[in-house]
Amino acid sequence: MGRSTFVAVLVVVILALGALFVVQNSARTTQLSFDLGAAAWQLERPVSIPALIGICFGAGLLLGGSWGGIRVLRLSSRVRQLEQQATLSSFATSSSSATAVKNKDPGSW
């Protein structure tokens, strides 16, 4: 069994377990509230547990993905900057070597 087959089977098993959880717990609900001590809020209607878990999972993916995307953009900018520095550095080195070879007396070898 190859690596891609193993990953595919693992994804199918995880999706099947998630679907089973949703089916078994779709009738369960919870009342959400947010209490700061000085102020408190409460939803008017209870929220389904699978929906709550899905919302939290999606929010985590969104926050993690945006943080990772910002990091990728910052690192790609740094890579471009270092590539430009390397190009300028290699150009300066090659032009100084060419100048040194031009100025060298052929009979001094």
List C-alpha distances in Å: 67 to 57, 70, 71, 72, 75.
15, 5, 6, 9, 12
Read off the pLDDT band of 38 (50, 70, 90). confident
CB-based contact 30:49 (threshold 8 Å): yes
Average pLDDT of span 22-48: 89
Max avg pLDDT among 8-17, 23-32, 34-43, 94-103: 8-17
Read off the pLDDT band of 15 (50, 70, 90). very high
Nearest to 27 by CA among 49, 53, 2: 49
- DSSP letter string, 5-46: HHHHHHHHHHHHHHHHHHHHHTT-EE--EEE-SS-EEE-SS-
8: pLDDT strictly greater than 90: yes
Instruction: Tell me what percent of the residues of the chain surpass a pLDDT of 90.
Output: 53
Q: What is the pLDDT of residues 54-73, one digit of tens each?
A: 999 999 999 999 999 999 99
Which helix H or strand E contains 47, and what residues bound it? strand 47-48
* pLDDT at 106 (0 to 100): 59
What pTM value is reported for the model? 0.59
Q: Which two tokens stand for residue 35?
A: 């209490």
105: pLDDT strictly greater than 70: no
